[in-house]
Structure 1
C-alpha cells in the first residue's frame, strides 16, 4: 500500500537516504545569501509509489513567521515536515533552508542530491516535535534533553544542564528533571519533547499534530506551552494541526492543503472567518462540527 503523510514518524535521529531527484542547475552565485525566505519549497514533488503526495509544491516561510498547515489526512502536510527533517527524500524540486539547499548540495555550478553529512549540517537549524513523544525511556528527563546538545553541538554538560533546567521551568516541569518518562503523563512527556527540541536552539520549530496522541484533558496544557513560546520568542514555527483554535491564536498565516497542493492561504481571521474556497469551507465545517 502507498504510504500516506499520516504514517507515524520514525525516531528523530533516523537518517534518510540520498534524494532521488535529478541534478539541476545551481542558481547564480549570490542568489541565496540568507536574505530571502527562511524556508523555500521550489516545485517539490514527493511520491510514495504511484501516490503523488506533493505536486510541484511552491511555498515560502519567512524568518519569525508562524505558519499552520491544515487540511484532510493524506493531503501532504506531515510529508512537508518530514522532508524538512530529511526523514523522507524529494522526487523532484529543491528545498532551501536559510538560503542553503537542504535536499541538494552545490557541486561546482550544479545542484546534486545531498549526502547525509550535508543534510545533517543544514538540518541543525531545525527542531521537530512529533505526534509520538519519542523520548528515551531508559534515560531521565535531564538526559533526554541534554544528550543531543552535548554530543551534536559540543555544548558542555554544565551548560546543557542549565539550559534543561530553564526549559523545564518554562514548560512547567521544573520538578521533573530527574524523573523517567515512564513516570510522566502523556501531556508531561510531550512538554518534555518540546523542551528537548528547544534545547538545540533551532531557528525553526516543526510541530506535527503534537496533541493527537493525548487524552483530551491533557491537550490544553501542551497548547498553552506552545502559545507561550509563540508569544515570547521569535522562533519560526511550521505546524500541522487539527486544533483550529490553536491555529487561529498563534498563526501569522494558514495554508489549506488538499491532494498535495495549497488550495487557499491567508491570515487566520480570513481563513477561519471568510474562506474563499469551497474546499476550505467544507473542511472547516467538518472539523468544527466534529469538535
Structure 2
C-alpha cells in the first residue's frame, strides 16, 4: 500500500532521509519510533506532499505519488497528479486543524462534497455515522471553539475518515491532549484499526500504544531504519544497541 524506493530528502546541506526503503502492506498498522530529528515526521509530510523527495520514489496503492510518467520516463509529479494519488490518504495532525468558522458537521462534509463529489445528503449521512463512531453525535452543530481538545481531536479523526482513505497517517495525535484524555484517544484509534481495512502509518511517543496496536514497529535513527520488527520482538529483544538505549530512555521517562 505504501512503498518507499531509495528515498532521499535533504534540506539544504542536511540529509534527513538517506536511501530509505520500506513497505507497508494493505491493512497493516506500522508505527515509526525514534528520537526527535530522526526523520519520522518528514516521512508523513512527504506522503501528504507537504514536502517533495530530493531523490527516489514514493508509491501509494500502486500509483506513484512522487513522480508521473511522461513518455517512457518518470518525471517529478505536478500538483494535479499528486492531488489524485493523495485522495487515497488521510492524515490526523498533532494540531487539530479544524475550520473554526464551520460547525462540526460542515468540517466533516466540506471535503467529501468538494473533493470526492458526494452529494450533500450522502456526506451528511456519513458524517453522522462517524460522529457516532467517535462518540460525538451530540456535538454535530457545535463550533470547534465550543469543544475540548479531546473532542476536537476526535472530530479531526472523523473528518479524516470521511474522505474514505485507504491509508491513514497519524502524527503524534495525543501530543496536544491532557494526559487523562490520552488512553481514550488511543482506545478509539485501536478500535478503528481493528474494525476497518485501512492501512495505518503512525508516528508516536506512546510506546505502550505502539506495542499494543502495531503489526510492525520501525526504529529510526539518522534518517534510516535501523530496526524493523513485530512489537513483541522490538520491545523485548531489540537487536540494535541504539534501539535498546532509546527504549530505555523513553520507557524510564514514561
Q: What TM-score, normalized to structure 2?
A: 0.99
User: 2:12 matched to 1:49?
Assistant: yes
Partner of 2:242: 279
Segments ≥4 residues shifted beyond 4 Å: none
- Select between 101-110 and 214-223 the one with higher mean Cα deviation: 214-223
**What CA RMSD, in Å, does the superposition of the two structures yield over aligned residues?**
0.6
C-alpha distance after superposition, 1:159-191 (max 9, x if no partner): 111111100110111111110110111111000
Task: Report SS of the residue matched to 1:161.
Answer: helix
Structure that is richer in helix per residue? 2
Structure 2 unpaired stretches of 5+? none
Scaled by the length of structure 1, what TM-score is found? Answer: 0.86
Higher RCO, 1 vs 2 (CA within 8 Å, ≥6 residues apart): 2
What is the match of residue 180 of structure 2?
217
Offset from partner CA, 1:50-98 (integer Å, 9 cap, x none): 2110001000111111100000010000000110000000000010112
Alignment-derived partner of residue 61 in structure 1: 24
Whether 1:246 aligns to 2:209 is yes
Structure 1 unaligned segments of length 5 or more: list them. Answer: 1-37
Which of 97, 108, 112 is 2:75 aligned to?
112
Q: Deviations over 1:213-241 (max 9, x none)?
A: 11111111211110110121111000000
Partner of 1:33: none
Does structure 1 residue 233 correspond to structure 2 residue 196? yes
1:160 aligns with 2:123: yes
Question: Which residue does 1:29 correspond to in 2?
Answer: none
Kindly tell me the number of residue pairs found equivalent between the two proteins. Answer: 254
Distance 1:258 1:284 in 2: 13
Distance 1:164 1:248 in 2: 31
> CA–CA distance in 2 between the matches of 1:200 and 1:225?
18
> 3-state DSSP class of the match of 2:197?
coil
Partner Cα separation in structure 2 for residue 85 and residue 231 of structure 1: 24
